[in-house]
Structures are given as structure tokens and as C-alpha cells.
Amino acid sequence: MKIKKLFKEKNLVYSFEIFPPKEDLPLEKVFNTIEKLSELKPDYISVTYGAGGSTLNNRTSLLSSRIKNNYGIESLAHLTCIGAKRGSIDKILDELKENNVDNILALRGDIPQGGFVSGDFINSQDLISHINTKGNFGIGAACYPEGHIETKVKDLDIDILKFKEEAGADYFISQLFFDNNLFYNFLNKVKKKDIKSPIQAGIMPVINKRQIERIVSMCGATLPRKFIRILNKYQHDSIALRDAGIAYATEQIVDLITYGVEGIHLYTMNNTTIANNITENISSLIQSINSKKVI
């Protein structure tokens, strides 16, 4: 099933993201993660492309196939194209199709430290267009509520979002954010551009201060004062920070659902305890919202 169908059938789509282990580490731990996440009955689970975004020896196809074929949960395979040749992308598309994976999150990928490398794709729009010529896949794409960290022109990302939709993107998943008001402002701008594809809010619960600071430095997300106080207050108490992070993420999600967002995408960081606690906190809201869907 294409994930876009889920957005037509439900008022709220709820999903998780996991990542493969590094190529020199065994897969058993992430297999266990998938097992536990499947028990929470998400609408789908996405799998990032390689370890840390690497395009080499990635296990995305294998894990995406396991999610779909072993547990009957739709999977979303991330696919990056920077530096890639069409032949290598086609090989991955064939592998995904052979493994019954129907959905792809089309991404440009991070620019290597040495700068752009030679390849057949300039951006994710190119990849989206290419995927549309190579198979009957559902295609998701990324969006950036606060603008992509590389973007220097205000609201250029909104124009790019329109290009992605026109290229064939069915829906969008947002980069993580910690201030809902920034996300709502983004949605208003998207609406003015007549972008109609559903947008899921990407939420990342706090795990530890150093990790969040590293991620924020890479993506440029704003940390509200309330969030910073939490990090500073509990940075030396891992259990307290985890519980405070779960509470903050839950509060964010409750507000987003009440606002009427079309989906929540939880960046689990392969932490099933956090995914379980947050899902338990919001399960009644999801059930209530989706019980009112009129097809």
C-alpha cells in the first residue's frame, strides 16, 4: 500500500523512524527494535539510508523488507541521491520492489565535507522525477519548518516544496522542531503556495543534551527557552532528562494533534522505551481523532 492512501483514510497518520546500525555491527539489536515498535501498531516505519546517512553497504532495503513482510506494517525506505549514478539508484529501486517495499522517502542527502561529488542528480526533485519513471512507488519528501540550514533566501524552501510536489511527492515529513508556533507559521505559508500534499510533523524526544546539541547544530532548529531550561536542569541526570523529554514531546504532540496536523512522525533514535511511553501517552488522542474519519 502506498502511504498516501493512509492520509486519505485517516485524520492522523502516526509513524516511527529507525536507523540501521553501522556496517560493522550486527543487526540483531535493530531486529529487536522493530519487533517492539511493531507492537505499538504504527501506520508505518521509516528506515534511514545507511548508517549516519552513508550510501555504502546500507541495510535500508533489508530492514524495510523485514518491517513490511514480517510484520505487515508499511515501510518507508529513505533514499539519497547526492553523488549517485542513475544505474546505482535503479539497482536499489529494483531491490526495494523485489522485497515488496512500496514507499520511498526521496532525499538529496548531506553534502560531503569535500563538497559536491559527481553524480546524475542535483537535488531531491531530480530523484523524485526519476523514481516516477522507474516503478509504481509512493514517494515522500522532506520539508523544513525553519528553512533548510543551507538556504540563505527567506522562504525559498516553500518554493522548493512546491517543486517537489509538482515532481511527484505524495506527502512531506518535516525536519525536527521544538517550537510548534514555528511549525504553524510554516503551514500557513505552505497553504498560501497552494501546496496540497499532507505534511507530517517530525518530533524528536530528548535523549541527552550532547546529542540534541549536535543534531541542532547540523539542522539549525530553534531551541525555545523552556526547552533549554530542561536540558540545563537535568543534563547530569539521564533518567530525569529522559522523563522530562518525554513530557515535552508529549506536550508538543498533544498541541499538534489538537491544532489538526495530518500526521506525527516520531524520530525514535531506535529507543523503544521512549517510543512506547509517548505512544501510550497519546494513544487515546489518536484513537479519538481517527474514529471520526469520513471516507
Which residues form the catalytic set? 17
Number of H helices, E strands in the chain: 11, 8
Are 142 and 134 in contact by the 8 Å Cβ rule? The answer is no
Dist. CA 17–CA 105, nearest whole Å:
11
| Assigned C-alpha cell, 273 | 522505551
Which residues face 31 on adjacent strands? none
Dist. CA 19–CA 53, nearest whole Å:
9
**Cβ neighbours for 30, distance < 8 A, ≥ 6 positions apart:** 18, 20, 21, 63, 270
Q: Where are the beta strands (DSSP E) in the chain?
A: 13-18, 44-47, 74-80, 103-107, 138-143, 171-174, 199-203, 263-267
Are 110 and 137 in contact by the 8 Å Cβ rule? The answer is no
**Dihedral sign from CA coordinates of 45, 17, 102, 162:** positive
Dist. CA 101–CA 104, nearest whole Å:
8
| Assigned C-alpha cell, 177 | 522542531
Dist. CA 46–CA 102, nearest whole Å:
12
